[in-house]
């Protein structure tokens, strides 16, 4: 199938070919036609599948085919859970609309609102936003959503995880009842289905899994190690393996900073990305990592959500997550698009129960290695570590609720099973 055969306008085809895309991805093939036909769409797709173009291209097509009056009310709203995702989606909107007479803007918190407000006052057709700043500007009368024709809810599952349900409901109330709705989510829990039921009108359901759909396709390994020796071990692994692009997960912001400092001291370029960093610092860290200037990106789970980091060869869990599903999200960042990936977990005695929960969820025993000089401490307590800062608002999995689906890592069907278990 070609992009031409999907019926997209010449201006969009030009932008697509400028991006270098030749064939629509499965989610684009499935989602673009019903969106162009004006249907509501419920799509099961995660980052890495090409979902952003899946909703952006037809949305831009519809808006540009039906131009409206000059003063440009907001006609399409794309709501995303995180600032990074909003910035990424906006970058896509900009690129795809390069040859169209449409204006777009992005708004999110953590930065000065004045320039955002000024842009909006000049009139924008497409607005990409995170819920907090959107409601803020709305309450100040700077934004009106009364003329929205197309509403996109991106990464709906993350939205709920991050506690945005109320905000979403408020946003929906401020839009016209008659509009087209597109909802994207990687997982389908009961809560997501309920939300979809409330927003969507007879939706067409589409589903796409990334090429690399199973956890088995990712080589996974556990290093048992004494807690105090983890930093030494991770530095040794990265140095000995001469790894160039490594995403390291840490449970806490403080831990991420500390680890980052130690890496830098030992000569490894590293940057941390977490909720306490300013937007500018986060963008800079991510750009440095993507360009290869920064070898190691140390991230917390929430900060890493939705980041588009293509073809990552190595993911290291410096600490295991206490929510098993987060393990699956984390390792899903390696081995994208069929490329080989490696996911390594450094596990100390106090993380034993987390490891057990993860192995239950993915229905797989992970191979264990011990590196000489970095042995686990035989006398250490196996009492679980306390939850880290910033995680208190999330429910840990019920540890009795083991999973049994082999593909639980990346197939949408099994992912929905996973998140249902979280309830
Ligand atoms: P997304 O899932 O929207 O975050 O997209 C993941 C990555 O795939 C991004 O880097 C996109 O630029 C890229 N991409 C999207 N659609 C296509 C396509 N049809 N062909 C090749 N790459 C694509």
Whether residues 252 and 358 share a domain: the answer is: yes
The predicted pLDDT at position 73 comes to: 94
Q: Is the CB of 58 under 6 A from ligand 1?
A: no
Please state, in angstroms and rounded to a whole number, the distance separating the CA atoms of residues 235 and 266.
8
Report the atom number in ligand 1 closest to the C-alpha of 23.
19
Whether residues 130 and 233 fall in one domain: no
Nearest CA to ligand 1 atom 5: 50
Judgement on whether residues 202 and 64 belong to the same structural domain of the protein: yes
Residue with the nearest Cα to atom 11 of ligand 1? 50
26-35, 202-211, 262-271: least confidently modelled range: 202-211
Phi, psi for residue 196 in degrees, rounded to 5: -60, -40
| CB distance 56 to ligand 1 below 6 Å | no
The terminus-to-terminus CA distance of the chain in angstroms comes to 39
53 C-beta closer than 6 A to ligand 1: yes
Say yes or no: 167 and 94 in one domain. yes
Do 142 and 264 fall within a single domain? no
Question: What's the CA-to-centroid distance between 209 and ligand 1, angstroms?
Answer: 13
Gap between the Cα atoms of 150 and 126, Å rounded = 9
Rounded to two decimals, the pTM is 0.62
Residues 222 and 197 in one domain: no
Instruction: Report the alpha-carbon angle 5-54-107, nearest 5.
Output: 140
Bridge partners (DSSP) listed for residue 44: 185, 207
- Write out the residue range of the structural domain in which residue 9 sits: 4-207
8 with 110, same domain: the answer is yes
191 domain-assigned: yes
Which residue CA neighbors atom 22 of ligand 1 most closely? 21
Residues 291 and 155 both lie in one domain? no
CA of 55 to the centre of ligand 1 (A): 12
- Work out the number of other CB atoms within 10 angstroms of the CB of residue 367: 9
Q: Is 345 in the pocket of ligand 1 (CB under 6 A)?
A: no
Domain-terminating residue out of 156, 186, 207: 207
At residue 215 the predicted structure's pLDDT band, cuts being 50, 70 and 90, is low
Residue 25 Cβ < 6 Å to ligand 1: yes
Tokens of 291: 């360009």
Of the two residues 280 and 345, the one the predictor is more confident about is: 345
Residue nearest to atom 18 of ligand 1 (CA): 21
Pick from 50, 87, 208 the residue to mutate for probing ligand 1's pocket: most ligand atoms within 8 Å of its CB.
50
In a domain, 16, yes or no: yes
Our answer on whether the CB atom of 322 is closer than 6 Å to any ligand 1 atom is no
**Structural domain includes residue 391:** no
Model confidence at 387, pLDDT cuts 50, 70, 90, reads low
Measured from the Cα of 45, ligand 1's closest atom is 2
Judge if the beta carbon of residue 17 lies within 6 A of ligand 1: no
Domain membership flag for residue 415: no
Domains in the chain, number: 2
Ligand 1 centroid to Cα of residue 19, in Å, is 9
Mean pLDDT of 364-376: 93
Query: Is the shortest distance between the CB of 310 and ligand 1 below 6 Å?
Result: yes
CA 153 to ligand 1 centroid distance, Å: 18
Mean pLDDT, to the nearest integer, of 191-197? 91
Q: Among residues 180, 207, 234, which one ends one of the domains? A: 207
**398 or 240: which leads in pLDDT:** 240
19 CA closest ligand 1 atom index:
12
Q: Of all protein residues, whose CA lies closest to atom 16 belonging to ligand 1?
A: 50
Does some domain include residue 384? no
SS3 labels along 159-205 = HHHCCCHHHHHHHHHCCCCCCEEEEEECCCCHHHHHHHHHHCCCCEE
Q: Taking all residues of the chain, what is their mean pLDDT, rounded to a whole number?
A: 85
Domain-located, residue 339: yes
Q: Is any ligand 1 atom within 6 A of the Cβ of residue 210?
A: no
387 within domain boundaries: no
When pLDDT is averaged across residues 203-223 and rounded to a whole number, the result is: 72
Residues 158-174, mean pLDDT to the nearest whole number: 93
Instruction: Decide which of 369, 402, 418 is a domain's last residue.
Output: 369
Structure tokens at 174: 């401020």
CA distance 322 to 204: 35
- One domain for residues 93 and 143: yes
Residue pLDDT, tens place only, 49-99 = 789 999 999 999 999 998 877 789 999 999 999 888 999 999 999 999 999
48 Cβ closer than 6 Å to some ligand 1 atom? yes
Instruction: Tell whether 203 and 80 lie within a shared domain.
Output: yes
Q: Which two tokens stand for residue 187?
A: 């997982």
Residue 270 belongs to a domain with what CATH number? Answer: 3.40.50.300
Q: Is residue 405 part of a domain?
A: no
CA of 130 to the centre of ligand 1 (A): 21
Q: Does 47 contact ligand 1 (Cβ within 6 A)?
A: yes
Asked whether residue 199 falls in the same domain as residue 150, the answer is yes
User: Nearest Cα to 409, choosing from 367, 366, 361, 351?
Assistant: 361
261-291: pLDDT as tens digits: 999 999 999 999 887 777 778 888 888 998 8
The angle at the Cα of 304, spanning 298 to 309, to the nearest 5 degrees, equals 90
Protein residue closest via CA to atom 21 of ligand 1: 21
Stretch among 128-132, 267-271, 365-369, 407-411 having the lowest mean pLDDT: 407-411
Residue nearest to ligand 1 atom 6, measured at CA: 48
Q: Is residue 106 domain-shared with residue 190, that is, in the same domain? A: yes
Phi/psi class of residue 269: alpha, beta or left (left: φ > 0; alpha: ψ in -120 to 50)? beta
- Give the integer Cα–Cα distance in Å for 315 and 335: 10
> Which protein residue has the closest C-alpha to ligand 1 atom 23?
50
């Amino acid at each position: 199938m070609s992009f031409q055969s999907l019926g997209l306008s010449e201006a969009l085809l030009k932008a697509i070919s400028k991006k270098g895309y030749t064939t629509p991805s499965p989610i684009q093939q499935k989602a673009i036609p019903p969106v162009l036909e004006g249907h509501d769409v419920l799509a099961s797709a995660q980052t890495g599948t090409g979902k952003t173009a899946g909703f952006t291209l037809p949305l831009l097509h519809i808006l540009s085919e039906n131009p409206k009056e000059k003063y440009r009310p907001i006609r399409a709203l794309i709501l995303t859970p995180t600032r990074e995702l909003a910035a990424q989606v906006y970058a896509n909107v900009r690129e795809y609309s390069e040859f169209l007479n449409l204006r777009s803007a992005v708004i999110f918190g953590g930065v000065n609102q004045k320039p955002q407000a000024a842009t909006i006052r000049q009139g924008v057709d497409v607005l990409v936003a995170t819920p907090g700043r959107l409601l803020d500007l709305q309450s100040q009368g700077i934004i009106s959503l009364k003329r929205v024709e197309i509403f996109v809810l991106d990464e709906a599952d993350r939205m709920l995880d991050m506690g945005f349900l109320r905000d979403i409901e408020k946003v929906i109330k401020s839009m016209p009842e008659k509009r087209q709705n597109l909802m994207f989510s990687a997982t389908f829990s009961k809560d997501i289905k309920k939300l979809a039921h409330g927003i969507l009108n007879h939706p067409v359901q589409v589903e796409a899994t990334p090429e690399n759909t199973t956890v088995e396709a990712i080589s996974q390994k556990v290093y048992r190690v004494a807690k105090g020796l983890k930093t030494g071990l991770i530095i040794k692994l990265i140095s000995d393996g001469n790894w160039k692009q490594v995403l390291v997960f840490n449970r806490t912001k403080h831990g991420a900073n500390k680890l980052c400092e130690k890496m830098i001291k030992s000569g490894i370029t590293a940057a941390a990305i977490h909720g306490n960093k300013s937007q500018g610092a986060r963008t800079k860290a991510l750009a440095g990592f993507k360009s290869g200037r920064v070898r190691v990106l140390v991230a917390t789970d929430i900060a890493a959500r939705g980041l588009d980091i293509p073809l990552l060869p190595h993911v290291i869990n410096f600490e295991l997550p206490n929510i098993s599903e987060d393990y699956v999200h984390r390792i899903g960042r390696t081995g994208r698009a069929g490329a080989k990936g490696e996911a390594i977990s450094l596990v100390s005695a106090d993380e034993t129960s987390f490891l057990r929960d993860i192995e239950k969820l993915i229905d797989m025993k992970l191979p264990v290695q011990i590196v000489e000089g970095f042995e686990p401490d035989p006398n250490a307590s196996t009492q679980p570590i306390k939850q880290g800062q910033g995680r208190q608002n999330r429910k840990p999995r019920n540890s009795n609720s083991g999973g049994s689906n082999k593909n639980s890592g990346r197939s949408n069907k099994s992912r929905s099973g996973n998140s249902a278990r979280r309830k």
